[in-house]
Structure 1
Amino acid sequence: MTQEVELGQAEAEELALRACRGAGADEQTTRALVEATLSAARFGPATLGFPHFVDYLNSFREGRINCEPSPTLARPFPAMLVSDADGGVAQLGFDLAFDDVVGAARNFGIAMFTQTNSYTAGELGYYVRRLAAEGLVGLAATNANAMLVSKPGGPAVYSTNPMAFGFPLGEGSLPMVIDQASSATAFVNIVAAAARGQSIPKGWAVDENGEDTEDPAKAIGGALLPFGGRKGGNVALLVEMLSAGLSGGPWSLDTPHFQSGSARPAVGLTVLAIVPGAPEEGRIARAGEQVRRLAALDVFIPGVSGIEFPPSLTKKLKVPADVYEAVRRLAAAGSDRA
């Protein structure tokens, strides 16, 4: 069984802040990334909270992320905002544009934020969850380096190419948030299994020879499989066009690996914000009623089922012991530097 360390939320936040600073990130980058990491730890998949945070810390130190970026924002059309993240974290560019995106959506009914030249986007549900808190429906798509084959035996052509969808359900509920990869599993799950010496299910990945494997180490050297065969591959292509296509960022085939080397991934992210009708139409309340109806029929509601509401600020966050030690070491380095 994987050993875990339990941290209070304030303690976890302080640890993450010190680790980012210890890795060389400037203050605006630190704040943006830590907020997203804590949100993922509270609401998202466990692997996209602190475990993925370690990828960011390593990438700060090894040059894959610009530690002191100056993102730019343009508005070529009234409801279209275009960001260049300047090699920094995707969350910062989104933060800087957020008020304008929300304002444009409320003015025009829909708005698009598209960004290039950033590190990987992290937990994609974070972006649509923030929009849902403003009463907006959100759709997000992003890419990274190629690690997904379109079919067994073929070359890796896409990243895990996740997409996220969020719909607000009213003040009495968390928003519905669907956040899933086009691959059969997220790459971070493969990495986590390898680190702990655990096998992976068949159908998740292939080895370097294109053969199905249950060995995560061989999967890392091979490629991931799409969910649902060709249909999952089609979804990956759709996400590729929404993210790299609309942003003008690099295709997954041309993107450096986010965990090795010193080249910056510089990938794309696209987020749509949609007003769910006029307030008097009650679309949010109607959606909330439908979700409760489905839940009563034992339907799993992503972003809602199994998650405490209202969220507790005193609930402990569980962090794998090896991840905690990696973050703690960088936090200590930051304290020594100060």
Structure 2
Amino acid sequence: MDQQTLSLSAHEAQKLAEQACLAAGANEATARSLAKATVSAALFGHPGVGFPHLLDYLSGFRAGRINGDAEPKIALPLSAIIHSDAGGGIAQLGFDLAESTLVERTRELGVTIFTQDNSYTTGELGYYVRRLALEGLIAFAVSNSPAVVAGSPGGKIVFGTNPMAFAAPLADTTAPLVIDQASSATAFVNLAKAAEEGREIPAGWAIDETGSVTTDAAAGLRGALLAFGGAKGANVALMIECLAAGLSGASWSLDMPDFQNGNRVVDAGVTIIAIQPTVIDADFSTRLSQQLDRIAERGAYVPGRRPVRNNVSEEDQVKIDAAVLEAIRRSL
């Protein structure tokens, strides 16, 4: 084990996260929902948006950026559309409350959309699609976030990191295909971590305050991230903005406040499209598994395909950066 990390059982880690949220002012439903998502990110997704990001939530509860007493309002304007007003709280709770209806409607109708506004940033986006893939559904999710991304070198900040996530069930029902990535060249947490550690970043990740491409992570924080792939990545960020903020009624990224400072609610949006894949082809999962095997044999990188679960087991161990763990314990 790395000397800078400590290991807890997943149950201990989840209890710690829940206690920290309660101490910061979250209600029981919010604390439970966020703790579950935090542990899931640490075990099955992107650990950087697990326990390290939990510190942003704890700060947000205390400062008023997140409504810890929020009770999301779920509405069904049409049979195939579910809308949640997160009430200024976390995004995960609204999804938790709507998930069973989303799964049921998708199995009945073939396609259903869940869309939510008025939440804090959505955390690990892969969390949502993993859960739906374990229910046998294809899922595509998009979310916007406060603007930190310029569309091109020399340009001004216009987009959030605007991530997208996709998951599909495979023949091994416990190990779905999962894709989770930002529309920026890298996630904001990666840039922040590089700056904290004094590491250089690859050219193309960010620009400095003058608009010039930089390899200095600290300068990148003062400037802006870049979209991946130039104009093509910026187009993807724009499409995500339309689906995540436009469809849900949430704020555009340019109008969102800083998610780490101040006391204003972020008002992020998330939209998830769920599809029942066996409506036309009962062998969808088997055929997709065979296709992934084939492209992997040809050298292509295939993400996901490792066992995931909605609930943790006694054997699961979570590794947490020692400084992060100490900060969480001090917050109790």
* TM-score range normalised by the length of the shorter chain: over 0.9
Number of residue equivalences: 329
| Distance in structure 2 (CA, Å) of the matches to 1:196 and 1:4 | 16
Q: Does 1:238 align with 2:231?
A: no
**2:283 is matched with which residue?**
282
Deviation at 1:136, TM superposition (A): 0.3
The one-character-per-residue Cα deviations of 1:271-323 (angstroms, maximum 9, x if unpaired) are: 0100002387211121122223333334322112xx46799752432212221
**1:247 is matched with which residue?**
248
**Which blocks of at least 5 consecutive residues in structure 2 are unaligned?**
none
User: Contact 2:15–2:35 at 8 Å: present in 1 too?
Assistant: no
**2:208 is matched with which residue?**
207
| Distance in structure 1 (CA, Å) of the matches to 2:313 and 2:28 | 27
Deviation at 1:219, TM superposition (A): 1.4
| Distance in structure 2 (CA, Å) of the matches to 1:176 and 1:308 | 10
User: Contact 2:145–2:162 at 8 Å: present in 1 too?
Assistant: yes
User: Contact 2:141–2:166 at 8 Å: present in 1 too?
Assistant: yes
User: Contact 1:2–1:196 at 8 Å: present in 2 too?
Assistant: no
SS class of match (1:117): strand
Q: Does 1:110 align with 2:111?
A: yes
User: Contact 1:2–1:320 at 8 Å: present in 2 too?
Assistant: no
**1:226 is matched with which residue?**
227
Alignment of 1:4-23 (within 5 A): 4-23=5-24
* Paired letter, 1:95: D
Q: 1:212 to 1:11 in 2, by over 3 A?
A: same
SS class of match (1:99): helix
User: Contact 2:167–2:178 at 8 Å: present in 1 too?
Assistant: yes
Identity %: 50
* Paired letter, 1:64: R
| Distance in structure 1 (CA, Å) of the matches to 2:190 and 2:267 | 23
Q: Which moved further from structure 2: 205-214 or 168-177?
A: 168-177
**2:159 is matched with which residue?**
158
**2:101 is matched with which residue?**
100
SS class of match (2:192): helix
The one-character-per-residue Cα deviations of 1:4-33 (angstroms, maximum 9, x if unpaired) are: 222221221121111111111111001111
* Paired letter, 1:250: S
SS class of match (2:250): coil
| Distance in structure 1 (CA, Å) of the matches to 2:21 and 2:277 | 37
User: Contact 1:43–1:303 at 8 Å: present in 2 too?
Assistant: no
SS class of match (1:135): coil
Q: Does 1:39 align with 2:50?
A: no
Q: 1:126 to 1:120 in 2, by over 3 A?
A: same
Q: Which moved further from structure 2: 197-206 or 275-284?
A: 275-284
**Which blocks of at least 5 consecutive residues in structure 1 are unaligned?**
334-338
SS class of match (1:247): coil
User: Contact 2:134–2:173 at 8 Å: present in 1 too?
Assistant: no
The one-character-per-residue Cα deviations of 1:239-259 (angstroms, maximum 9, x if unpaired) are: 000100110111001011111
Deviation at 1:196, TM superposition (A): 2.3
* Paired letter, 2:270: L
Q: 1:184 to 1:25 in 2, by over 3 A?
A: same
* Paired letter, 2:170: L
Q: 1:55 to 1:41 in 2, by over 3 A?
A: same
Q: Which moved further from structure 2: 97-106 or 309-318?
A: 309-318
SS class of match (1:116): strand
| Distance in structure 2 (CA, Å) of the matches to 1:18 and 1:158 | 34
Q: Which moved further from structure 2: 88-97 or 186-195?
A: 186-195
Alignment of 1:1-338 (within 5 A): 3-171=4-172, 173-278=174-279, 281-304=282-305, 307=306, 313-330=314-331, 333=332
Q: Which moved further from structure 2: 320-329 or 71-80?
A: 320-329
Deviation at 1:3, TM superposition (A): 1.9
| Distance in structure 2 (CA, Å) of the matches to 1:160 and 1:309 | 25
Q: 1:206 to 1:313 in 2, by over 3 A?
A: farther
